Amino acid sequence: MLIDIIAGARPNFMKIAPIIRALRARQAAGGPLRYRLVHTGQHYDERMSGAFFDQLQIPQPDVNLDVGSGTQAEQTGLIMTRYEQLLLQQRSDLCLVVGDVTSTMACAITAQKLQIEVAHVEAGIRSGDWGMPEEINRLVTDAITNWFFTTSRHANAHLRRAGVADERIFFVGNTMVDTLLFNLERLVKPAWFDKEGLGQKDYFVVTLHRPANVDDPAQLARLVQAISACARDLPVIFPVHPRTAKSMEGLGPTPPNIRLVEPQPYLEFNWLVRHARAVVTDSGGITEEATMLHVPCMTLRDTTERPETVEIGTNELLGTDPAALPPAFDRLFAGAWRAGGIPERWDGKAGDRIVAVLEQQWLARRGSPFTTDGVEPPAE
């Protein structure tokens, strides 16, 4: 069985790393699954994707579609055209997509039109906000997916309400968490950290990239000013996403405690999160990492597709109004932030469970005597 593993943007690399690691282990044991790593090139900036291959110990892609920059429609069209060409040259048996980026949706559509089955890792999550491009990608991908690998019971429920049969839903856990736990002792202090005079638990980390927060420079300026004031003169480390950088060009000088830095590699960024007093973000993935690291997290969004980080974890959903920040920071400084816990099956074994399911599904169809002993599938 040849599986195409699709990655195109920074979050994808974190999600595919444990799957590739599990596939390699099973191959070494004589397992039947082979894979082809397809990088769409959706994130073409070395800072946004290139360094991840080394840090996360992911092999270099077998294929790079090299789509580069463009509008969402332009990128979608190029990904579909180039992935179709690849499949016509060498067909795969399964297209495995992860997350909710443009590459996820585009490759799923292309594969299905060529009658190649699709497996979706992180299926079923929903924010309910159709203003997010990611929500459209999730809905489209799940509408044409064959095998659904989920991170939570919330996701399972969304899929069942959409009419997906139970036998196609596999509650495996969270591969982002697998990657974090695997690398926890490998996290690296940024080279500039000590030079900036920073101390552990005496700074904040901020990331902003959602259109509602950064596309309007005035809104971005209000958020930055509010975060600066609420931090009470403590440093605020702000790795600036390329999308955010464009809006910041005309804002003038930032407050003195806002430290703008380049997007950080995975190991350095999560070191910063692990040792921060708190995180302010509009990223879904970072809310998961903060939950695992027991770091208070404030999410500047009205909705979240990861409600378990709010119900169980350390995350609070504040909305996009800067006025919501002062009370949240007051609770934090008063020591009143909830400690949070770890969501179900966020245990570092999602990649192994996914590979076990894929083996069982493939071998059941072929009537093969090969055993999947040693790799446990998920169980409800």
Catalytic residues, by residue number, are 209
Q: What is the length of the chain?
A: 380
CB 225 within 8 A of CB 298: no
Single out the residue of 262, 285, 267 nearest to residue 52, CA to CA. 267
Would you call 139 helix, strand, or coil by DSSP?
helix
Specify the residue for token string 């974190």: 14
- Which structure tokens are listed for 92? 């795969």
Contact indicator for 141, 105 with CB cutoff of 8 Å: yes
* 94-98 and 63-64 beta bridge pairing: unpaired
The DSSP result for 12-27, as a single string, is HHHHHHHHHHHHHHHH
3-state secondary structure of 37: strand
User: Under DSSP, is residue 158 helix (H, G, I), strand (E, B) or coil?
Assistant: helix
How distant, in Å, are the alpha carbons of 104, 110, 202, 317 from that of 293? 28, 38, 16, 18
Q: d(Cα 105, Cα 140) in Å, to the nearest integer?
A: 7
Pairing of strands 297-299, 315-317: parallel
